[in-house]
A = this chain, B = another copy of it.
Amino acid sequence: MPSRTISAARSAVCFAIGLFLLLSFPAIAQEGPGTLNLMPIPSKLSLTGGKLRLNENFAMGALGEAGPRSRKAAARFMDRLAGRTGIFFKQDYRTDFITSGNATFLFKYETAGRLELNENESYALTVSPDRIMIIARTDLGVLHGFETILQLLDADAQGHFIPCARLDDQPRFPWRGLLIDAGRHFMPVEVIKRNLDGMAAVKMNVLHWHLSEDQGFRVECRAFPLLHQLGSDGHYYTQDQIRDVIAYAADRGIRVMPEFDIPGHSTSWLVGYPELAGGPGPYRIERRWGVFDPVFNPTDEATYRFFDKFFEEMAPLFPDRYVHIGGDENNGKQWDANPKIQQFKKDHNLADNHALQAYFNGRILAILTRLGKKMVGWDEIFQPGLPKDIVIQSWRGKQALIDSAQKGYQGLLSNGYYIDLCQPASFHYLNDPLSADAPLEEQEQGLVLGGEATMWSELVTPETIDSRIWPRTAAIAERLWSSADVKDVEDMYRRLDSIAIRLEELGLTHFKNQEMLLRRLAGGADIGPLRTLVDVIEPLKQYRRQNQGVTYTQLSPLTRAVDAAAPESRSARIFRKMTDEFLQTRDPKTANALKTQLQLWRSNHRFLSPLLKTAPALAEIEPLSEDLYTVADLGIQALDAILARTTGDRTWVNESLGSLQQAKKPKAQAELALLPAIEKLVQATLSK
């Protein structure tokens, strides 16, 4: 029998926690240019007044010919428009495609876009009260226009509408990528597909598919089947699945660049082919995270015969012009320990392992060039003398990007876009591949192709990866698409809140899997108080989570409170912002809202406590829950003191700062995201 002893009063309190924050953005965007929820912001936009009203007669079609990509995208557009508005459109938009001028929504383009760097992606969009029109050079532009319309969709008491507008839009950078690491944790096809849909929604155009790692080789290889048979635990993509994903991406205007990380990060390759390694085997799939010794032997011609055949098979499987060869983090230990390799270095005047790796890269480059491919690598591969059509992807720092551009190489920025490190969207948003102060000539600037958000997968699974990618990656997408002067952080966050919910319609799980994980942790109980706590914690940032006395491996569960927590707590962000505003304005209404919130947080531990004692996987967050009580209480005391305008009590402040210092210590690999605000409140009691 279910227990019924829980009083409704308790429920009322514990479920209210965190609520006013969630309530604090409006259901429907207000009208006016400043409240549109476009992301990325288009190049040029003017609202021309009036609204195109949607109803069941809304119908779409093309002016002139429309190829399969735009027709399929048009059908998906209509599906989403119907799904979001609930309108039963009369048009059978899957069978009947209007190609005369009689549609509400018409598009027109000149030529099918090629999925190549620098293809034209621009579009012009006009919305008048009775007609939407997209005109583009290629169908890629048309697809971007569809997404813009879906972001413009709005509603008022009369129903759904598109505001009348005129847009001209095109990207600032031609390479706007997302790296998904399917090597460390395998990501099934549906994970890749839903993220491709997310990318298309924010106008990203390159999936960088990281397909091999020490922990897994993820591609069916017919020439060397032991790669996937022994190197993947059975978790690999068949070639049919790869073709399916690439076709899916192409339908969305997205290029797919594979990465095969060599010569290091390659343990999983060597499980099946130990004879290609720089040291003696046998090898087993690596379960730990880090940099490991196994590496290909760059001095053995068998290695190049292997890669010759390997890339011969992979080149047509991945039709994109670019192939990423990784090239990062080879610790060189196997090379140092191998006398034959040492001798080879001497014989070939290779001063050090860096030079030896450059030799290896050159050999791989020759293979790729023969196959018509261009080579991309992490910034370690940069070596003067390489041909100028390789691309350097900078992960270690922005300087590498500048250096290589100055030497005439194309580059991509990923430093500052490491979304696995759980930093705030604002941090990534303000990270410009080409900041105004970059010491680059105009021609050199043109070598900066764009950037890529990188979703490394040590600490994510298919259940949690979306929550690390979205919505923050939408802010990076805007950085890479929109003008450099679009950098209002507050407005970005306002739009991100809206985009985040719209991204869910693509199947992305960034919100919905949080409660699922909490239900699992709680074993079915009420998750209200648990959600309230998890809502204000964030996983430790950068690499600190790996450094807390817990050794993560590929087999470790990623199902705990820290995994359910969002990388950036929205509630805490809003609380911090309101605190800042209160401290400027001393507005009593704001104080009241802050205090009510703090009271709800303070009372949460009482309601959460019983669950923490009976659900073993939650025991670790008890100190966090206690901290929430403590710091909320400090915040309330501080607010009361500020409002009472009493003279500050330095002893209390010092004690309180001591408590906050204790609260700052990581617990359960997470931290309370509202501490900076509480600290400001405490400090503010000292000033009048």
Give residues in A with beta carbon < 8 Å to B. Answer: 1-4, 6-9, 11-16, 19-20, 22-29, 72, 75, 78-79, 82-89, 92-95, 155-160, 188-190, 233-234, 238, 240-241, 244, 284-285, 287, 462-463, 494, 497-498, 501-502, 504-505, 507, 509, 511-513, 515-516, 519-526, 528, 550-551, 553, 555-560, 574, 578, 589-590, 593, 596-597, 600, 610-611, 613-617
Residues of the B chain whose Cβ atoms lie less than 8 Å from the Cβ of A523: 27-29, 155, 498, 501
* The one of B20, B156, B512, B519 that contacts A11, using a Cβ cutoff of 8 Å: B20
Q: How far is the CA of A9 from the CA of B558 in the complex (A)?
A: 36
10 additional A-B residue pairs with CB within 8 Å, beyond A22-B526, A82-B557, A88-B557: A4-B578, A11-B20, A12-B12, A12-B16, A28-B614, A75-B233, A84-B520, A155-B615, A240-B241, A512-B515
Contact B86 A616 (CB under 8 A): yes
What is the CB-to-nearest-CB distance from A239 to chain B, in angstroms, rounded to a whole number? Answer: 9
Do A494 and B24 contact each other (CB < 8 Å), given the known contacts A16-B11, A504-B520? no
Contact A600 B8 (CB under 8 A): yes
Q: How far is the CA of A1 from the CA of B615 in the complex (A)?
A: 39
What is the CB-to-nearest-CB distance from A514 to chain B, in angstroms, rounded to a whole number? Answer: 9
The complex is assembled from copies of this chain, and their number is 2
What is the CB-to-nearest-CB distance from A352 to chain B, in angstroms, rounded to a whole number? Answer: 35
Q: How far is the CA of A12 from the CA of B597 in the complex (A)?
A: 11
What is the CB-to-nearest-CB distance from A559 to chain B, in angstroms, rounded to a whole number? Answer: 4
6 pairs across A/B with beta carbons < 8 Å? A22-B528, A26-B525, A83-B558, A240-B240, A502-B520, A512-B515
What is the CB-to-nearest-CB distance from A74 to chain B, in angstroms, rounded to a whole number? Answer: 12
For A552, give the chain B residue with the smallest CB separation: B88
Residues of the B chain whose Cβ atoms lie less than 8 Å from the Cβ of A513: 512
Q: How far is the CA of A515 from the CA of B510 in the complex (A)?
A: 13
Residues of the B chain whose Cβ atoms lie less than 8 Å from the Cβ of A86: 521, 557, 559-560, 616-617
Residues of the B chain whose Cβ atoms lie less than 8 Å from the Cβ of A509: 512
Q: How far is the CA of A79 from the CA of B553 in the complex (A)?
A: 13
Do A524 and B615 contact each other (CB < 8 Å), given the known contacts A512-B515, A578-B4? no
For A82, give the chain B residue with the smallest CB separation: B557
Contact A614 B155 (CB under 8 A): yes
Contact A511 B516 (CB under 8 A): yes
What is the CB-to-nearest-CB distance from A576 to chain B, in angstroms, rounded to a whole number? Answer: 13
Contact B94 A233 (CB under 8 A): yes
* The one of B157, B241, B574 that contacts A613, using a Cβ cutoff of 8 Å: B157
The 8 closest A-B pairs by CB, nearest first: A27-B525, A12-B16, A11-B19, A8-B596, A86-B617, A512-B512, A190-B190, A15-B15
Contact B6 A24 (CB under 8 A): yes
Contact B85 A617 (CB under 8 A): yes
For A617, give the chain B residue with the smallest CB separation: B86
Contact A615 B28 (CB under 8 A): yes
For A160, give the chain B residue with the smallest CB separation: B616
Contact A284 B23 (CB under 8 A): no
Contact B85 A4 (CB under 8 A): no
Contact B82 A555 (CB under 8 A): yes
Contact B95 A23 (CB under 8 A): no
Contact B159 A616 (CB under 8 A): yes
Q: How far is the CA of A85 from the CA of B618 in the complex (A)?
A: 9
* The one of B155, B516, B589, B597 that contacts A616, using a Cβ cutoff of 8 Å: B155
Q: How far is the CA of A75 from the CA of B79 in the complex (A)?
A: 39
* The one of B12, B82, B155, B515 that contacts A19, using a Cβ cutoff of 8 Å: B12
Q: How far is the CA of A463 from the CA of B508 in the complex (A)?
A: 11
Contact B11 A25 (CB under 8 A): no
Q: How far is the CA of A611 from the CA of B555 in the complex (A)?
A: 45
Q: How far is the CA of A558 from the CA of B82 in the complex (A)?
A: 9
Residues of the B chain whose Cβ atoms lie less than 8 Å from the Cβ of A6: 20, 23-24
* The one of B75, B83, B593, B614 that contacts A27, using a Cβ cutoff of 8 Å: B614
Q: How far is the CA of A179 from the CA of B526 in the complex (A)?
A: 33
Contact A20 B8 (CB under 8 A): yes
Residues of the B chain whose Cβ atoms lie less than 8 Å from the Cβ of A93: 555
Residues of the B chain whose Cβ atoms lie less than 8 Å from the Cβ of A285: 94-95
* The one of B497, B526, B556 that contacts A82, using a Cβ cutoff of 8 Å: B556
What is the CB-to-nearest-CB distance from A677 to chain B, in angstroms, rounded to a whole number? Answer: 15
Do A497 and B516 contact each other (CB < 8 Å), given the known contacts A6-B23, A83-B559, A89-B555? no
